[in-house]
C-alpha cells in the first residue's frame, strides 16, 4: 500500500510536463494550419512558409510569454511577502484572527485555535510562510524554473510543429503533403497522448484518443473553413 | 489599510483572466503569422486563408484542449479524494503522522500537533478536506468552470486573432496589410497589456510594454524567417 500510495501521488517531473505542454499545442496547431492551407493553395512552398512562420510565432509567444509570466509571478510573490510581514507588524491581532478562521473551518475548537496561534506567532518567518501558503495559497516560485520552463515549452512546440510540417518537405503537391502529414501526425498524436496520460497518471488509451481527437477535429475544421474561404 | 489590503489581495475574476489568456495569444500568433506570410506571398487572400485556418485551429486546441484538461483534473481530484478516504480508513496512524509533519514544519510543538490531530480526526470529511488541500495542494475543481473557461479562452483567441487579420481584408497588397496590421495590433497589444496588468495588479505601463514587445518580436522573427525560407 505504501508503495502504491507514493507511486500514485507521484507528480511527473516539471521538465516532462513542460515538454507535454509545448508538444501538445505544437502537434495540433501547425498540423491544422497546414491542413487548412492544403485546401486552399496549390504549392507546398506556401504551406511550409506559413507553417514555419506559425511555429516561430507560437514558440516565441509561449516561450517569451512564459518567461515574463514567471517573472511577474516572482514579483507578485515578493510583494505579497512584504505585505504579510508588514501586516504582522502593524495589525497582528487581525492576522491572528485569520489563522483562527482557517482552523475553525476544519472544526477545531477555540482552545486548539489559541494554541496554534500562540505557537505560530512566536516565529515571524514561520508565521508569514504559513499565511502565504494557507491564506493566500502562494508558494515561493523558482525564477530559474520559469526560464527553463519557458525554454522547454518553446522548444517542444518547435519540435512538435516540425513533425506535421515535415510531410510537406518531401512531397510536391499539397494533397500528398496533407495525406502523409495526416497519417504521420495521427500516429504521433496517439503515441504522444499515450505517454502524456502515463506521466500524468491517467488511463493511457483513453488519453491517447482524447489528444488524437482534438488534433483531428482542429485539422478538419481548419480544412473545411479554409476551403469555404478560398 | 483594511481597504488597501482587500483591494490588493483581490484576484481578478476567473472570467477576465480567461479573456486575458485567450486574447494574449490571439493577438500575438495570428499577427506574427500574417506578418511572416506578408514577406513571402503576393496575395492577401492566402494570408487571410492561413490566418483564419490558424485562428480556427488555435481556438479548438485551446478551447477543446482546455475543456478536456478540466475534465481530467476533475477525475484526478475524485480519485485522490477516494484514496484519501481509503487511507484514513486503512492506515489512520500514518495519516495522523502526516498532519503532524505539516505543523512541525511551522515550529508547532508535540502538544499542539496532538491537539490538532485529535480534533481534526473527529470528522472524516474535515480531515480528508484538510489533507486534500494542505498535503496534496488540491482544491475541488468546478466542472462548469472548466467548460466555461474553455469557451471563453477559445472565443477570446478568435476575437484577438481577427483584429490583426482584419487589416488584410481592407487592403489589397500584403505590404499594405502588414503596415495597417502592425499599427493596429501594436496599439491593441499596448492597450490590452495595460488592462491585463491592471486586473492582475501589476504596474500597467511596464506590463503594456512587455506584452507589446513579445508581439512585435514574434512578428519580426516570423517575418525574417519567412523571407529567408521563401
**Predicted confidence (pLDDT) per residue in B88-116, tens digit:** 889 888 888 888 888 888 888 888 888 88
Top residue of B37, B57, B72, B220 to mutate, by most chain A CBs within 10 Å, is B57
Q: What is the mean pLDDT of residues B48-64?
A: 91
Tell me which residue in B54, B61, B221 faces A214 most closely, judged by beta carbons.
B61
**Residue among A25, A19, A20, A18 at smallest CA distance from A214:** A25
Note whether B39 and B226 are within 8 A (CB): yes
Q: What is the pTM of this model?
A: 0.81
Rounded to the nearest angstrom, the gap between the alpha carbon of residue B110 and the centroid of all alpha carbons in its chain is: 42
Cα-Cα-Cα-Cα torsion A96, A97, A102, A103, nearest 10 degrees, comes to: 80
Phi-psi domain of B41 (left: phi exceeds 0; alpha: psi -120 through 50; beta: other): beta
Reading the block at residue A33, the C-alpha cell is: 494550419
Q: Give ipTM to 2 decimals.
A: 0.80
The partner residue sitting opposite A5, judged by closest CB among B35, B37, B87, is B87
Report whether pLDDT(B3) > 50.
no
Question: How far does A70 lie from chain B, in Å, by closest CA?
Answer: 13
Query: According to the 3-state scheme, what is the secondary structure of A29-80?
Result: HHHHHHHHHHCCCCCHHHHHHHHHHHHHHHHHHHHHHHHHHHHHHHHHHHHH
CA B188, B190, B196, B199: dihedral to nearest 10 degrees? -110
Question: Over 50: is that where the pLDDT of A2 sits?
Answer: no
Give the residue carrying C-alpha cell 505557537: A119
What number of residues does chain B have? Answer: 230
Arithmetic mean of pLDDT, B154-176: 94
B interface test, pick of A10, A30, A50 with most B CB neighbours within 10 Å: A50
CB B84 within 8 A of CB B131: yes
Backbone angles phi, psi at B10, to 5 degrees: -55, 125
Residue A4 has pLDDT above 50, yes or no: no
Averaged pLDDT of chain B: 86
Amino acid at each position: 500500500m505504501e508503495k502504491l500510495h507514493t507511486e500514485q501521488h507521484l507528480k511527473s517531473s516539471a521538465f516532462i510536463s513542460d515538454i507535454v505542454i509545448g508538444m501538445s499545442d505544437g502537434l495540433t496547431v501547425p498540423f491544422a494550419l497546414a491542413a487548412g492551407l492544403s485546401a486552399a493553395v496549390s504549392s507546398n512552398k506556401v504551406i511550409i512558409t506559413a507553417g514555419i512562420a506559425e511555429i516561430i510565432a507560437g514558440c516565441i509567444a509561449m516561450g517569451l510569454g512564459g518567461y515574463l509570466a514567471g517573472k511577474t509571478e516572482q514579483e507578485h510573490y515578493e510583494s505579497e511577502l512584504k505585505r504579510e510581514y508588514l501586516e504582522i507588524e502593524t495589525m497582528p491581532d487581525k492576522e491572528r484572527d485569520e489563522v483562527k478562521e482557517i482552523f475553525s473551518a476544519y472544526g477545531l475548537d477555540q482552545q486548539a485555535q489559541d494554541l496554534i496561534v500562540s505557537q505560530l506567532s512566536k516565529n515571524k518567518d514561520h508565521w508569514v510562510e504559513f499565511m502565504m501558503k494557507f491564506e493566500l495559497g502562494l508558494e515561493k516560485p523558482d525564477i530559474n524554473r520559469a526560464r527553463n520552463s519557458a525554454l522547454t515549452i518553446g522548444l517542444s512546440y518547435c519540435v512538435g510543429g516540425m513533425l506535421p510540417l515535415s510531410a510537406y518537405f518531401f512531397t510536391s503537391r499539397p494533397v500528398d503533403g496533407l495525406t502523409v502529414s495526416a497519417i504521420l501526425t495521427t500516429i504521433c498524436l496517439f503515441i504522444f497522448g499515450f505517454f502524456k496520460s502515463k506521466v500524468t497518471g491517467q488511463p493511457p488509451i483513453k488519453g491517447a484518443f482524447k489528444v488524437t481527437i482534438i488534433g483531428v477535429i482542429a485539422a478538419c475544421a481548419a480544412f473545411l473553413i479554409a476551403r469555404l474561404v478560398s
